Amino acid sequence: MDAPKLLSAFVAVPDLVPGTRGSGMVMNWQQQAGVMYAGGNSSMLRGWNLCREKCTTALPTQTDSCVTSMASDDSIPGMLVAGFGDGTLRIFDSRSRPDYAVKTIMKEHTSWVVQTHIYAGRNELLSGSVTGELKFWDLRYPKTSVKSLEAHRSPMTALAVHDYAPIFASGSHNQFIKVFRSDGEQLALIRYHEGFLALSIMSALVTVATCNLNQWALDFDGNLERILESIRQAKALGARYRVGPELEVCGYGCEDHFLEQDTFFHCWESLEMILRSDVTNDILCDIGMPVMHNGVRYNCRVFCLNQRILFIRPKLFLADDGNYRETRWFTTWKSGMGKGNARGLDKFVLPASLQKLTGCVHVPIGSGALSTLDTSCGAESCEELFTPDSPHVNLSLAGVEIIGNGSGSHHQLRKLDQRMDLIRGATTKSGGVYLYSNQQGCDGGRMYYDGCAVIVVNGQVVAQGSQFSVKDVEVVTATVDLDDVRSYRGSVSSRCEQASSLDTVIPKIDVEFSLCHDEASFLQPTPAIDVHYHVPEEEIALGPACWMWDYLRRSGGSGFFLPLSGGADSSSVACIVGVMCHLVVEAANNGDEQVIKDVQRIMGTSEQEYQTLTPADLASHVLHTTYMGTKNSSAATKKRASSLASQLGCYHLEMGMDMMVDAVVKTFSLLTGKTPQFLSRGGNIQQDLALQNIQARLRMVMAYLLAQLLPWVRSKNGFLLVLSSGNVDEALRGYMTKYDCSSGDLNPIGAVSKGDLKKLLRWAAVKYNYPALQTVEEAPPTAELRPTDENAGEEADHSQLDEEDMGMTYGELSYFGRLRKIDRCGPYWMFRKLAHLWSHLTPTDVATKVKRFFFYYSINRHKMTTLTPSYHAENYSPDDNRFDLRPFLYNSLWTRQFRSIDTLATKLEEKKQE
C-alpha cells in the first residue's frame, strides 16, 4: 500500500490571529454541497469549494469573539450553526447576502461554547459550554432552548455526540466523563484517570487569571459585585488562580477615608460576602483590601480559597511621590523579605463573624508565600515592582513560580512602556509567571487608572488586557506550563548559584490544593503575543474619554456643556467627547449591559429607540456647545466651531456677548466716572487686560447658566457638567484668566501640552472623520479678546496671537515645564541646562527667556489653587492639588536666582567671544 501523499494545501483562514485563549482554526464539512467551512480567531466564516479550491462564501461573524465550534445538517441547505468564545450561538444562512447571513443569535450560554451538534434530519441542536451546561434546542424555534442540563460543576472540556445511537458524552477538567441518553438522562460515569496508588496524574499546565476592574472609592456594593463577577468569569474560563487590583474592595482612591474605621468595617463585610458565596470554591483568589493589625493600618493582599482565608500579605514598600500619598494612610510591613529570619509571619485575629464563618480564629499575616501541592505563589503590590530591590527577586530565588501584582497605577502619557519593561523584566532574569492586575477607570479623582492587566511567562507576554475601556470588568486568562519556568530557571547557572546561597527566609504556608490541570486536559500553553501600545494621540483621546464617561454616569449628570471657541483647546475637548461617544456606542453594540443601562438613563430612551444609536445620536444628547462671540471675534473661529459641532452631531448654539460686556463696562463707568479703553485705542495695559478679562469671565457665567437651563430648554431632566479647556502649558505660564472658561467642573486636557493637542487634532480628523479638526489645527492660537485688525478680511484669523502675547512659544513652555518639574530645576539650574541645549541662542537670550518664564510663573501661581480638576496626563503638570506642591505667593523678582543667572550669562558670553 502506497504511503499517503499530500495532494493540495491552502490557507483556509488567511486572517487568523492569535488570542489570549484562542480556538485556533475550526472547520465543518458539508458532504452534499462539497463545501468546507473554516473559521476561528477571525471575523469571517469562509466556505471553500474543495473541487475548485476556491472560497465561494465569506460570512461576517459580526462579533469580536472567536468561533469555537460549527455544525450543519445536509437536510437543511445553506444553514450553519457556530458557537463562539463569548457563549453565543449564531445561525447563518449562506444563501443570504453576507451582511444579512446571521439569522439568529442565541445568548443563553455565558461562556466558551465547547461543541455544537445538529441531529441529522431532526431540526434539533445540542450545545455545551465550558461552564458545564448543556442546552437542547429546536431549530424551528431557536429563540430559547427547550431544555438545560448541568452536566459538570467544573469546567467542561469536551462534548461528543454519537452519529447513530441516541447517546452523547461530556468530559470535564477534573477527569470525569459522563455518558447521557439523548433526552438528558445520565447513563454512566467514568473516571478517566483513577491515578496510581491514589495519586492523580497531573500536568504542569495551569490556567491563571488577572483582571481590570472599574472600581469606585467607597462604592462597596458595586465594588463587591465587580469582584464577584471577575471571579465568576475567571472560573468559567478554567482559571484556578485569580489576581485582583490593589485595594479593590474599597477602591484605591479613598484617601483620608482610609483613616476611618467605617472603611475597614465595610471591607470585612464585603470579604465575608465573598466567602459566604461559592465563588472561591476551587479557585485561589488574591484580593486587595486594607487591614488593621495591632492598631496599624496596612495595604494588604488577602488570599482566599474554598470559603476560607489562607494568608494576608501586607505591602512592604509604599508609593509616596507624584500623585501618591500612601504613607499618609498606611505603614510598611517592616519584617521578612530581608536578611535573616527577622519576624517572619505573625498571627492575625479575624473579626468574630469571619471566625464563625471560616472556623478559624487566626490566619498568618506577613511577607510570605503559599505552597500548593504542585507549585508556589507569592505577591507584590504596585510600587514594589518599581523599587530597586523588588520582592519578586527574592521570591523567584526562593522558588516561587507564580507572582501576582495587584496594582493601582494611573495613566500618564508614554508611561506604559516603562511599566511593561518592569513587568517583563521581573521574569526575564529569574524566570516565572507574573500576573499584573490594575484598576481601570475614574474612581472618584483626577487620575484614570489605565488597566492593561497582563500575564508574562519568562519575560514574554502571553495575555494583555485593554489599557482604555468603558467595561466594568475585563478578565484576562492564559494557560502556562510551569515546566517551562523550571527549565528556564535551571538553564541560568548564575541564577541557580544565587538561589542556592539565598539567605533571605521566606515563610511558606502549605495549601492542600492543586493549581495544575489534569494530564487529560485539552488545553495547551498560551502562545506569546506582541505588546500593544497606543500612540500618544490615542492615549490623549481614549484616556480622558473613558474618564469623562465614568464621571458623567457616576455623577448622575445627563451631559456636558462646553464653550466652543473654534480654537485648538476647546476643539480638543469636544473631540474627546466625540471619541467617548464612539467608545460607548461600540461597547453597547457589543452587548455591554451596564453601558446600555447607563446610556438609556442619560438619553432617556427606550430599548427600541436605542437599537439604532450612532455616535452622533449620543453626542446630540450628551454634548451641548455654544460659540460665545464678541465684536473682537473673527468669522473664521465661528465657522470652525460650527463645522466641528455639525460633524460631532452635538447640540450647538451661537450667541453674541457684546450686550453683556457693554453692560458691565457701562456699570463700571457709572460707578467710577471713568471708561477703560484697549491699549490700541489709547488705554494702558491695565485697562486692556481688564477689558479682556470681562469677556472671558462673562463667558464662564453664561456657561454655568446654560449648563443649568439647557436641559429644561430641551424638555429633558438632569443637569450638565461644565467642561473647561485650558492646557498644561498655559496653566504653567498662567496665560489664562482666573474664573474664565478655564474654570468648570472638570477639564480633560488640563495636563496635556499644546503640542500633543495639535497631534490629537490631526489624528482624530482622519480616525473619526472630523475634518474640521484639521482646519482648527492649522489655525494660529489666538484669544480673540482685543479689537481685530481693521484691515483684515472677514474670514481672516485674529491678529492677537497667543505666543506673541506670552513672549514665548508653546514648545519653549514645554521645555520649561519638563525642566522645572521632571528635572527638578530652579531658575539658575534651568538656565545652566538650556544654555547648552539651546546653542542657537546667545546665553543672554536664554537668560532673558528663563527669567521671563519664572516671573510669569510666580505671579500667576495663585491661579493653580482654583484650577478646575483636570485629568492627570503629563508628568510636568502644575496641578496644585497634590501633584505639584508649591507656594502660591512668590517673590517674583527672584533676586538671588536671577543675579546668579546674569553673572553666569556674562561669563558664557565672554567665553564665546574668546
Which residues are annotated as catalytic? 246, 315, 382, 565
d(CA 771, CA 29): 48
Give the H/E segment covering residue 253.
none
Give the H/E segment covering residue 907.
helix 895-913
Q: Retrieve residue 42's grid coordinates.
A: 477571525
Residues 168/126, Cβ–Cβ less than 8 Å: yes
d(CA 209, CA 477): 4
287 exposure class (CB count in 10 Å sphere: 0-12, 13-18, 19+): buried
d(CA 738, CA 741): 9
Residues contacting residue 544 through CB under 8 Å, at least 6 positions apart: 448, 576, 748, 749, 871, 873
Residues 751/872, Cβ–Cβ less than 8 Å: yes
d(CA 747, CA 913): 49
Cα dihedral 19→20→22→24 (10° resolution):
60
Q: Retrieve residue 796's grid coordinates.
A: 481672516
CA dist list (Å): 719 to 677, 710, 849: 38, 8, 45
| Residue 778 CB neighbours (<10 A) | 13
CA dist list (Å): 895 to 817, 854, 866, 887, 890: 21, 12, 28, 17, 11
Residues 80/37, Cβ–Cβ less than 8 Å: yes
d(CA 569, CA 751): 12
Provide the H-helix boundaries in 623-753: 635-648, 658-672, 685-713, 728-733
DSSP state at residue 780: P
d(CA 603, CA 22): 37
CA dist list (Å): 249 to 245, 262, 296, 362, 385: 9, 13, 19, 21, 21
The residue type found at 170 is S
List 37's β-bridge partners, or say none: 28, 47
Residues 412/874, Cβ–Cβ less than 8 Å: yes
Residues 554/598, Cβ–Cβ less than 8 Å: no
Taking the mean position of all CA atoms in its chain, how far away is CA 641?
A: 30
Give the H/E segment covering residue 729.
helix 728-733
